[in-house]
A and B are shown apart, each in its own frame.
Chain A
Amino acid sequence: MAGMEELKQTLFFYYLQWATRPGPIQRAVAGALGGVKPKGRTYDRRQVRVAAVQMELSLISDPAEYARKVAALAGQAASEGAELVCFPEDAATHLVGMLPGIEKLAGAGSVEAALGEMGMDVKVADIFRFLGPAMRRTYLATFAKVASTLGVYIAGGSVVLPEEDGQVRNRQYLFAPDGRLVSSQAKMHLLPMEAVWGLSPGNEIGIYEAPFGRLGLPVCMDATYFETYRILTLLGAEIIINPSADPDEYNFWRKLRGIWPRVQESPAYGVNPCMVGDFMGMKLTGKSAIVAPLALSPHGDGILAQVESYDREGMAVATLDLAALRDYRRQAQIEASFNLDLYQRYFPAVYDLPERGGTL
């Protein structure tokens, strides 16, 4: 019997390889975007138009259908003039639908419960390890083709994948207008749920120099920690693309805790594309938004654009005035208030104290 199970697994593995070959995915994208021709763009370092895509998470078993969904959303953003299109966290989790029978477990109450019902003694990370190669192929083929067809930068949300060191991480990828994968950033601060699932945090951080400005690519919970934005802006980030998938009932104050205060502390533009929908017992909510330092927002509230609904698909689009941001930073003189002696005394030692105890 063990031999039969191995055979089934091997056959399913080959099926996934076949089902996720790039050709049909690229054709699906081309079909969804019709006769769109990429525009020859000259980027302006003074401004860029950005879209935060609010996407619904649902199980999708057919990679071509997934590709069409991504293409349609990106196409809508491009039609509104977006030169940088940003997708939410878990932007490829739809493809868990490739697992036979998974849709019958959607009402299990939680991902762990669903796995239990399947009689599987595995962690969620193991599912992503198993599906990883197929998800990676589908995700990369889809976003590369969408970016090159539309001729736009695409921050492809994040995707949970096994990495070369054997760890499973939640990583955001950036695609250039020619379809090249040009940058990525692993989520550095996990949700407790993700730790239980067996995911690992990334311990490195960096920025990407786009022709219009410098980008940071943190993921979801990274916005809970001021350290992320402080480091990114000191590295030079001007636009911080921070996708999320919040498994929480929507509440204005809860949602306000993340990106909005971070861009006030460390001045930058923030782009927050949200995943929404009911998925495997989780209710994902959020209002995708593009936020700014208060002084750079027309109503003084730090909001440049925001989706109305917190549980349906939508899109926030805004033009970011990068020249104004650079002027604002010069005038605000954030660095003039830094207390380097204080930081030298406490960082990083204060992080190594027993949790909430001991003094330096």
Chain B
Amino acid sequence: MNVVKVMAVQGGVESFVQSSFALDRDAESVHPDLIVFPAFAGLGVVEGSETASSFADVLALARQADRLAEWVVERAVALATRTGAVVVPGSVILPAGDGFVHRTYVVTADGVIGSQDQTHAGPFERTWPLKPATTLAPVPTPVGVIGLVVGWDVFVPEVWRILALQGADIICVPNATAAPYSQWQALPGAWAQVQQNQVYAVEACLVGRWAGQAWAGVSALHGPVEITPGDTGYLSQARSCDQPEAITGMFDFTALRSIRTAYPIFSFLNRPLYRAMMPGIYRGGDGRGGHGRT
């Protein structure tokens, strides 16, 4: 497809479950090709998840709900069937040994066509504890090649680079960030990573009070600044950081190709340098310090 109509749903943990009904109306009028829900929205299929009073309660619910993944996929397939869209149903937390994985899916009317577990544990996720994945695989879909970025991974440039170099053109970001919202805190995430990888991104944010705390974010459709209105890097943004809203916009792949041709960032990657330094530099041991060692 040369132009893809995209929808990001901003809402609470119930947004995905409720969308099975409420979104029918919007989806019929808007006809999105791709719908993305906020992080943790998949957990809304578990009874009692809406009223969890702490994240410890959420983790306990996730451990008990042995059919959680199945329920999420069933509902996502139903939504994909009704709307004809590719659906990213937010994310779920699933038990993995003595910890958890944080997973999202890409679903069509035919079923699950791809999934991705979070690869980097931020301070919050380390308390679960998160079991990070060690693969990042873009998913070919009817609307283009999709990369999935879950949780803290939104702030990790390595994740975006690995996905983009493997051909991801649309990055889907189910997001959940603790309130209060700060644009400055958000910018190093999807906005900045879109710029240095020349991809589109759909960022759907969890908002409202849930699991004992407030969540806030401004859902957005991101693109390289040169092909967005006012050179802002935003194709569309939610009007508030704390209210439910569905935003839509178009991803134009002709425009994306044109900016990649005019300004070929990837052609100037310094591969000899990276071969010499990576991955060894991450292991340290060079005796010269590094983050936190000085």
Contact = CB atoms under 8 A, between A and B. Distances in A.
Interface stretch (B62-70, B89-97, B98-106, B117-125): B117-125
A265 B157 contact: yes
Interface string B111-132: 0000000011111001000001
B158 A342 contact: yes
B54 interface: no
B114 to A, nearest CB: 12
Interface in A224-255: 224-227, 230-231, 233-236, 238, 251, 253-254
A344 to B, nearest CB: 5
Contacts, number: 196
A251 B169 CA distance: 25
A340 B165 contact: no
Measured as residues with beta carbon below 8 angstroms from the partner, the interface class of chain B is 35 or more
* Most chain A CB neighbours (cut-off 10 Å) among B230, B232, B268, B272: B268
Interface stretch (A46-54, A98-106, A155-163, A328-336): A328-336
Contact of A333 (B188, B270, B292): B292
Nearest to B232: A253
Contact of B268 (A190, A236, A253, A256): A190
B192 A257 contact: yes
A343 interface: yes
Contact of B156 (A231, A238, A337, A350): A337
A335 B195 CA distance: 24
A236 B120 contact: no
A344 B279 contact: yes
A204 B272 CA distance: 9
A301 interface: yes
A351 B138 contact: no
* Most chain A CB neighbours (cut-off 10 Å) among B162, B165, B233: B165
Given A189-B268, A348-B278, A253 B231 contact: yes
Interface string B265-281: 11111111111111101
B35 to A, nearest CB: 25
B269 A335 contact: no
Interface of B: 119-123, 126, 132-138, 152, 155-158, 161-162, 164-167, 169, 182, 184-185, 187-188, 192, 195-196, 225, 230-233, 263-279, 281-284, 286, 288-294
